[in-house]
Amino acid sequence: MAAPQQQKLKVNGPVAVTANRLADGAVVWRTAAGGWSTALGDAAVVTTAPEAIALLEGAHKRDTDAVGAYVAPVVLGEDGAILPGNLRERIRVNGVTFELPASEPPASTLPAA
């Protein structure tokens, strides 16, 4: 997955526009109202390249809210839920795929005697 920002825009399915929030880098999604939300469920979902470009242009107008906007694939669930469309976006939405190191020391790592 070459970084999506560098890819040519091809839209063949539902897509949304995503970016990172300027202040803390959090993953955000472009909403239909022209704002940003951390909930993928709030994203404006479109299915054609011109619509996607329009969303992206809106996103680029102001760069103090979010940065690095690009078009990301999404999947629509049966109940209309919006889900991330590939592994990269799944990781961006759900976090890393393993347990983060916790600040309690793990149990002894030595072999039993």
Partner 1 sequence: MYVYDEFDRAFLAERVADFRDQVERRLSGALTEDEFKPLRLMNGVYLQLHAYMLRIAIPYGTLSSDQLRRMAHVARVYDRGYGHFTTRQNIQFNWIKLEDLPQAMADLGEVGVHGIQTSGNCIRNVTTDQWAGATPEEFDDPRIWAEILRQYSTFHPEFTYLPRKFKIAITAAPKDRAATKVHDVGLRLHRNEDGELGFEVLVGGGLGRTPFVGKSIRPFLPVRHVLSYIEAIMRVYNQFGRRDNIYKARIKILVHEIGAEAFAEAVEAEWANIRDGALQLTDEIIDDIRARFLYPDFAALEDEPAELTAALEDPRFATWYRNSVHKHKVPGYSIVTISLKPVGAPPGDATADQMDAVADLADAYAFHEIRVGHEQNLCLPNVATRDLPELWRRLDAAGLATPNVNHISDIIACPGLDYCALANARAIPVAQEISKRFADLDRSRGIGRLHVNISGCINACGHHHVGHIGILGVEKNGQEFYQITLGGRADEHAQLGTLLGPAVSYDQVPGLIEDIVDAYLELRSSPKELFIDTVHRLGVEPFKERVYATH
Question: Which parts of this chain interact with partner 1 (CB under 8 A)?
Answer: 1, 3, 20, 22-27, 63-64, 67-68, 86-88, 91-92, 95-98, 100-111, 113
Closest among 45, 20, 48 to 32, alpha carbons compared: 45
CB of 58 to partner 1, least distance (A): 16
Residue 26 or residue 32: which is nearer to partner 1 going by CB? 26
Rounded CA separation 35/27 (Å): 13
Q: Which residues are within 8 A (CB) of 23 and not within 5 positions of it... i.e. 6 or more apart? A: none
Closest among 79, 92, 71, 91 to 15, alpha carbons compared: 71
Residue 79 or residue 113: which is nearer to partner 1 going by CB? 113
Residue 80 or residue 110: which is nearer to partner 1 going by CB? 110
CB of 14 to partner 1, least distance (A): 15
Residue 12 or residue 79: which is nearer to partner 1 going by CB? 12
CB of 9 to partner 1, least distance (A): 17
